Structure 1
Amino acid sequence: MSPSSCAVLCAAVLSPCAIAQTSSSPSVPAQVAGQLPTIEIRANQDEARADLEAEQALTPGGVSLVDGESLRQRSVVTVGDMLRYVPGLWTASGSTGDSSFISSRGSNLDATNYDGNGIKYLQDGLPVSAADGNNHNRQPNPLAASHAVVARGANALTYGASTLGGAIDFTTPTARDGAPNELLLQLGSHGQRQGSVTLGKVVGSFDGLVSAETRRFEGYRLHQKQERSSLYANGGWQLGDAVHTRFFATTIDNQQQLPGPLTRQQWLDDPRQAEAAAVAGNYRYNVDTWRLANKTVWDIDADSKLTFGLSYENQQFYHPIVYAPPFFSLLIDTEQRTLGSTVRYQRRMGSHDLLVGMNLARTTVDGGNFSYVPGGAQTLSTSVANRASSLELFVMDRWQFAPNWTAVYGAQGVSTRREVRDSNLKGDFNSINPRAGLIHQLSPSNQLFANVSRVYEAPTFYELQDQTPGAPPNTLLEAMRGTVFEVGTRGKQELGSRNRWNWDVAVYHTRLRDEILSRDNPTAPGTSLSINADRTVHAGIEALVGASFALGGSSAHRIEPMVNLTLNHFRFRGDSTYGNNVLPAAPKVAVKGEVLYRHADTGFFFGPTFDLVSSRYADFSNTYRVDSYALWGLRAGWTGKDWDVFAEARNLANKNHVSQFSVRDVASANAAILSPGEPRSLYVGARLKF
C-alpha cells in the first residue's frame, strides 16, 4: 500500500463521518443517546487525569493509566518498576542498571532483547521509538513523567500503532499543569544514589520547567556500575485563547557496564559474579542522547481540535559486547537519528466522536561494527548504514448509537520501508488494519467492552533478513500479522458506606502468522538469527484488582490490597519445526501485589509486597526450563502536604532467582544465558515540594 492509498483510506472513512463532532477531551459515554458531553481543557493535574480516565472509558479494550504521583512513594528506577501494576505486561530488570525486558501480550519474545521491539514508545504523543520500531537504545525515564498511558495490543490505534504489544505514551509535567517544584532523593543497596530537582514557573502567557537528574549505581553483580545524568526542560506559550505551543528538550548521558550472562552452575555458585569475557572485554552500554520537540494545539472551537508536533532525537551508541581473542570481538559504535512528526484532528458531531491522525518518521543509523582491544585499537569489520521510514494514517469514530452503548470502529494504514545497506537488504511493508469494538455502560462507573482487531508489525533493522535454515541469501522476513479478539470489564463499586473495590480485567486471544522470532547465533556470539514462525497463538487474562476496607468504626484506618495477575498462553500452533511448543521468555503466571495498611488522615502506610512467577522456557525446543520463584518485601511511607518519605525492602528472603535470559533454539545445560535477579535490597527516598 502506497502513502497515497493510505490517504484515500482516511478520506473514505472521514467523508461519511463529516456529519458527526468531538470534544478535545472525550468523557465517559453519556447516558443519553445522540449527544456526547463537552469537556473543557483545564490546567491542573487532577482534572487532566480525569480526562485521561474518560478517554480510557471510551476504549473497548485494555488501557491502563500510571500516575506519576504514586511513583514517588516507592523505589522507581526503570520503566519496569513503573509498570509493576499494569496487567498484561511481563517486565524483568536487566543485567544493566537502566534497562528492563518488557513484553506486552507476548511481544519481544526473542533471543537478545537487543531491539526491544513490539511496543511503540511516545513522549507527549510524539515518537521515541525509531521508524523501524526498535527501542534498543532508549527507555524513557519514569520519574520524568507526570503520568503514562499504556494501551495494550491493538488498543493503541489512538496512537496510530498496530504493534503486537501496543503503545506507551509518557506525558511530561509542566508548570502550567501545576507540577510542583520538588527535590527527590533516593539511597539504597548496591551503591544506589539518585537525586533530581525540578523547578517551574508561570509568567502570564509563558511557562517553563526544568528538571535535572543524576544516578549512580554500583550494582548487585560485579562489573555492573552505572552513571547517568539527564536534563529535561519544556516551555509553553499561550498564543491567545485558542492556540498554545510547547517546546521540549532532553539530554541524557548514560554510562553502564555489562556483567554478562552466567551458566546455571555459575548462577548457583555465585550470582554476584560477572561473566569472565565481560570483564576482560569491558562490555559496556553507553548512550548519549539529545532530543528536541514541539507540540502545538489549536482549539478550533468547542467541538474540534487540531494537534501537530515535530521531534528530533540523536543517539550516540558505544557498545563493546563480545570479546573472545584471538578469534572474534565485537564493538558496536553507531549514531542513530530519528525525525518524527504527528498530526491529529479531533471533531465531535452529535453522537459521533471522530479522530483522524498521521504519524511520519524517518530513522538513519550510521557507524560500524568493530573488532577491538579494550582501551586500544578498533578495526572496522562491517559498516552500518541503515535507513527506515514509516507513514501511519489512522481514523477512528466513537458512535453512541443508543443509551449506554458506544460503537468504536476505525482502521490504521501503514506504509514503511527498511534498508540495510551493508547487506543490500531493502523491503517495503504495507497494510490496512481495521478495528471494531463495543462498549456497554452498566453504570456511570462500570462497563463491559469487546473488540476484534488486526495486528501488524514489520521487522526491525535487526530482524530484516530471513535466516531460517535453507532460506535463500538476502531473503526478507515477512511482517507478522494476525487477528485479536478481546472482551473485558472495568469499574469500581462501593461496598457499603465505607468500603470500595475496583477492577480492570481483559481476556484476549490472538492468532498470528509469520511471528518474528530470533535466537542467538551459535557461530557468532552477540548476534541473532531471525525467522518467521508458521502460526502462533498469544492469549491471556489480564487483571488488576484493588480495594480499600475500613478497620473498626473509623474510616481513617484502612487496609488496601492490590493484585496484578497475568495469565499467559503463548504457543506455536502446528509449527513445522516446533509443533505446539510453548514460546519462551514469558511465564505462564505472574502475580505482583501488595497489602497496605493506610491511615487516611496522617498519610502513613505500611505493608508487605509479593511477586509470584511461574517457570519459563529458555529455548524454542522446550528443553531448558528456568525455575519459578516467589519473592516478598515490605514498603512503608508517610505523605505530608509538601513532603513524602518512603522505605522499601525487596526480596527479604534473599531468594536466588533468574530475572531474564537469552533465548536459544536448543539450550544446552551449560549454556551461559542467565541474568540473576536482585538479591535482598533496601531503598529509602524522600521528596520535598516547595
Structure 2
Amino acid sequence: MKISYLALAASLIATPALAESRGADDADTSRANDIVVTATPDRQQATVMIDRIAGAVEIVPDSAFRNTPVQNIKDILSYVPGVIVQPRMGDDARVSVRGSGLSRAYGNRGIAMLIDGIPLNTSDGLLDFFEIDPSAYRYVEVYRGANALRYGSNALGGAINLVTPTGHDAAPLEARIDAGSFGYVKGQASTGGASGDLDYFATISAQRIDGYRAHSNGDALRGNLNIGYRLSPDVETRFYVYGASTNQHIPGEVSKAQALNAPRSANPVWIAQDQQCNVDSIRVANKTTVRIGETKVDVGVFYNHRHVDHPIYQYLDFTVDDYGGFVRAVDDRTIGGLRNRLIVGANIQNGTIDTHQYVNVAATKGALTASMVDRSKNVSAYVEDALYVTPQVSLIAGLSYLHASRNRRDQFLADGDQSGRRSYDLWSPRFGVLWDVTPATQVYANVSRSAEVPSYDANVITTPNLNAQRATTYEIGTRGRHGAIGWDVSLYRSEIRNELQCLTTAPWAPCSIINAGRTVHQGIEAGLDAALPVSAFVAGDSLALTAAYTYNDFFFDGDTTYGHNQLPGVPKHFLRAELLYKHPAGFYAGPNVEWAPGHYFADNANSLTVDPYALLNLKAGVDIGTRWSLYVEGRNLTNKTYISTVAVAGAATAASELFNPGIGRAVYGGIRFAW
C-alpha cells in the first residue's frame, strides 16, 4: 500500500492542532485545503482531494519507490491492491486494474494514463509505457474502477496520474545511477528551484539493458521540464514539456514448455524478422489555475507527437498527433447550512494516426501493404456533486457523457476501399456515499457505469457489429488508520456487456478484437501497512510491514460458447508483501515476496493453464535524510522459472505460443545524491 492517505487527510481536515504543528503556512480550513489555488502538484492537497472520493483511490509517494532501481511501472504500482502489472520486456508491461485489458498481448487499454493531468493515451484509447520514466515523479495517483471522474475518465480500470516535482519541492541538483543484472544501467539528473513567482524543474535520464531474454535489449533517453509562474495570488500557470526516444527489441511469445525450460530464449520468428518497437515522442502542455471566490478553475491545452518505427509481423511506420484541452471547476461552499462540493468539467481529445505498412524483410521495408489515416474525436463532459447531509456524511451523484467518432481514410486501395466512420454516444451515471466514521476512518459505497470505445487496432471501422464495452460496477469499502496500522479494503462487482477481448489467433499476426458478450469481474482489494516500534537493537528502530492482496474472480456469464468459464489472463489470487527492519540512522533491510497461488488460464476455453509461482526478493539500503541514499536489491533469489504474462487465445493447445517468461535471479543496486 505504501501510503498514509487518510491519516494525512484527517490531520488537515479534522485536527487543528496537527495542522498548526505544520506551521502557519499550512494551517488552513478543510475547504481551503480542498480548493487551494495552485497548479503546483502538492501531495498534501492531492491527498485531501482524493479522500473526498467515495471509492477505491490511492496516492503512492515517491518515498515508496525512489530508493529502488526503478525499471518499469511495476516498481511504482507493486503495492497498490487491485492493480496487476505483468512485465513483458524492457519498459513494457501489461497493467490490468479490475481486469481491464487483461487479454491484450501488446499495448494497454481500459486505463486512462496521465502525466501531470495531461492524457498519455492516444486519442483512440491505446496506451504504451515506453514514454514513462518511472523514477521522474513526486507521487502517483491511482483511481481504481469508475472513480476517476476528476479527470473525466470512465474506463473500467480507472485512471493513473503521474505527477512530476516542481521547483518548490525539488533539490537544486540531484543525481542517481543504477546498475545490475542483464546489462542494466540507468543514470538520471535533475535540477529545480524557485525565484519569486517563477519556479522550474527539469530532469533527464538515459538507460540501456541487454535484457534477460535473447533479442530483448533496448535503450531509452527521456526528459521532463515543468515551469510555473504565479501571475497573482489567485492565478498560476504551468508549462510542461516531455520528450522521449526509446528503442526496444521484442523477443516474442513462446510456448509454455519453451518459457519454462528455456526462459532466456526468444521466438525464432521474432529474431528472423528483427521485431522492434522504436518511439520518438514529444509532448507540450499548459495548465492554468484560477481561484474565483469559492471556486477553483483549471484550464489546459496539450499536444502530443509520436513517430513509431515498428517492424513486427509487418513493418509499421506511423505518426501520431494528438491534441486537445480541458476545463474543470471545483466549487466548495455552504448552501443552506450544508457543505456542498460541485465538480464540473469537459475534455476534448482529438488525434490522427498516419500509418504506412510494409512487408517486413528482416527489419527493412518491403512492398507497401497498407496505408491509412485514422482520425479520432472525443468530447466528454462530466458533473459530480457531493452534499454533506451531516459534517461526516456526503451523498454523491455524478454523470458523464462521451461522444466519440472514429474515421478511417484508406489510402491503399489494391485490396479494396476500407474507409469508413463510426460514432458512439455514451452516458455514465454515478451514485455514492462517503462516511467519515472517525477523523482517520472512512467507509464508502458507490454504483457506477463505465464505457470504452474500441481502438483502431480492433479494426473498428471494418469489423461488423463491434460495440463499445459497457459496465455497471457496485463497490463498498473502507480505508483508514488506527495507531500504527493503516488499511484499504474494497469489494466490487462489475457486470460487463460486450467486453472487448484481444484474442491471439496466430503468433505472427495481430490479435483479433471481439465483444465477449456478458462477463463479470468481481473481487477483493486489500492493502495493509504498519509501522511497529520494536527497539530491538537501539531505541527507535522498527519493523515496517506493507502488503497488497488482490482477489480476481472474472468469468463469462452464460456465454453461448464458453458458458461460465473463467476469464483468462491474470491470477485469481495475487499477493505482494514486504517486511523491513528500519534503524533510526537510516539503515533498512528485509525480504519481500510476490505470490500467485493456483493455476489460471491462457484461453477462453480453459484448456491451457498458467502455473502458480512464488518469488523471494530481498532489499537493503541506507537513506540519510534528503541528501543521499545507497540501495541494493536481489530479485527472484530462488531463480524460479515462471510465466510473467500471457497473450490470451480463444482456444489454445500445448504448442500455442502465448507466453512471456519472467526474469530469473537478478541483483540491482544504485546510489542517489542531492545537493
Assess same fold via TM > 0.5: yes
Secondary structure of the structure 2 residue equivalent to 1:173 = coil
Equivalent residue for 1:99, pick from 74, 92, 112:
92
1:526, distance to aligned residue in structure 2 (A):
2.3
Secondary structure of the structure 1 residue equivalent to 2:146 = helix
Kindly provide the amino acid, as one letter, of the partner of residue 470 in structure 2. R
Aligned to 1:621: 605
2:59 aligned with 1:75: no
Equivalent residue for 1:672, pick from 649, 657, 664:
657
1:264, distance to aligned residue in structure 2 (A):
2.1
TM-score norm. by structure 2 comes to 0.91
1:38, distance to aligned residue in structure 2 (A):
2.2
CA distance in 2, matches of 1:563, 1:171: 24
Equivalent residue for 2:102, pick from 99, 109, 115:
109
Aligned to 2:395: 407
Secondary structure of the structure 2 residue equivalent to 1:620 = coil
1:377, distance to aligned residue in structure 2 (A):
4.2
1:668, distance to aligned residue in structure 2 (A):
1.2
Q: Verify the 8 A CA contact 1:465 1:476 in the aligned structure 2.
A: no
CA distance in 2, matches of 1:42, 1:225: 45
Q: Which moved more, 1:262-271 or 1:426-435?
A: 262-271
Structure 1 residues not aligned, in runs of 5+: 1-24, 323-329, 467-472, 495-499
Q: 1:27 to 1:463 in 2, by over 3 A?
A: farther
Q: Verify the 8 A CA contact 1:427 1:476 in the aligned structure 2.
A: no
Q: Verify the 8 A CA contact 2:522 2:552 in the aligned structure 1.
A: yes
Equivalent residue for 1:579, pick from 563, 566, 569:
563
CA distance in 1, matches of 2:319, 2:330: 36
1:36, distance to aligned residue in structure 2 (A):
5.9
1:137, distance to aligned residue in structure 2 (A):
6.5
Aligned to 1:481: 470
Percent identity between the two aligned chains: 32
Kindly provide the amino acid, as one letter, of the partner of residue 68 in structure 2. R
Aligned to 2:206: 214
CA distance in 1, matches of 2:124, 2:247: 25
Secondary structure of the structure 2 residue equivalent to 1:38 = helix
Secondary structure of the structure 1 residue equivalent to 2:64 = helix
Kindly provide the amino acid, as one letter, of the partner of residue 672 in structure 1. E
1:341, distance to aligned residue in structure 2 (A):
0.9
Q: 1:189-338, aligned counterparts within 5 Å?
A: 189-301=181-293, 303-322=294-313, 330-338=314-322
1:281-330: per-residue Cα shift (whole Å, max 9, x none)? Answer: 111110011111111111223x21111111111111111112xxxxxxx1
Q: 1:144-155, aligned counterparts within 5 Å?
A: 144-155=136-147
Q: 1:418-457, aligned counterparts within 5 Å?
A: 418-422=406-410, 423-457=418-452
1:41, distance to aligned residue in structure 2 (A):
3.9
Kindly provide the amino acid, as one letter, of the partner of residue 583 in structure 1. L
Q: Verify the 8 A CA contact 1:72 1:644 in the aligned structure 2.
A: no
Q: 1:484-523, aligned counterparts within 5 Å?
A: 484-494=473-483, 500-522=484-506
Kindly provide the amino acid, as one letter, of the partner of residue 104 in structure 1. V
Q: Which moved more, 1:370-379 or 1:334-343?
A: 370-379
1:165, distance to aligned residue in structure 2 (A):
0.3
Kindly provide the amino acid, as one letter, of the partner of residue 506 in structure 1. S
1:555, distance to aligned residue in structure 2 (A):
5.4
1:455, distance to aligned residue in structure 2 (A):
1.2
Secondary structure of the structure 2 residue equivalent to 1:143 = coil
Secondary structure of the structure 2 residue equivalent to 1:655 = coil
CA distance in 1, matches of 2:14, 2:496: 36
1:176, distance to aligned residue in structure 2 (A):
2.5
Structure 2 residues not aligned, in runs of 5+: 1-8, 17-28, 411-417
Q: Verify the 8 A CA contact 1:44 1:178 in the aligned structure 2.
A: no
Secondary structure of the structure 2 residue equivalent to 1:686 = strand
Q: 1:617 to 1:26 in 2, by over 3 A?
A: same
Kindly provide the amino acid, as one letter, of the partner of residue 563 in structure 2. G
Q: Verify the 8 A CA contact 1:85 1:592 in the aligned structure 2.
A: yes
CA distance in 2, matches of 1:291, 1:515: 31
CA distance in 2, matches of 1:27, 1:336: 45
1:420, distance to aligned residue in structure 2 (A):
2.9
Q: 1:434 to 1:139 in 2, by over 3 A?
A: farther
Aligned to 1:497: none
CA distance in 2, matches of 1:208, 1:105: 37
Q: CA RMSD in A?
A: 2.1
CA distance in 1, matches of 2:37, 2:289: 14
2:630 aligned with 1:645: yes
| Corresponding pairs, count | 640
Q: Verify the 8 A CA contact 1:425 1:474 in the aligned structure 2.
A: no
Secondary structure of the structure 1 residue equivalent to 2:565 = coil
TM-score norm. by structure 1 comes to 0.89
CA distance in 1, matches of 2:535, 2:129: 52
CA distance in 2, matches of 1:236, 1:137: 26
Query: Would you identify which runs of 4 or more consecutive aligned residues in structure 1 move more than 3 Å?
Result: 25-32, 40-45, 136-139, 177-180, 552-555
1:688, distance to aligned residue in structure 2 (A):
0.4
Q: 1:637 to 1:44 in 2, by over 3 A?
A: farther
2:53 aligned with 1:59: yes
CA distance in 2, matches of 1:429, 1:418: 9
CA distance in 2, matches of 1:75, 1:156: 29
CA distance in 2, matches of 1:28, 1:394: 28
1:140, distance to aligned residue in structure 2 (A):
2.3
2:31 aligned with 1:37: yes
1:685, distance to aligned residue in structure 2 (A):
1.1
CA distance in 1, matches of 2:364, 2:470: 46
1:151-209: per-residue Cα shift (whole Å, max 9, x none)? Answer: 01100111101101000111111112445521011011000000100012222222222
Q: 1:598-609, aligned counterparts within 5 Å?
A: 598-599=582-583, 601-609=584-592
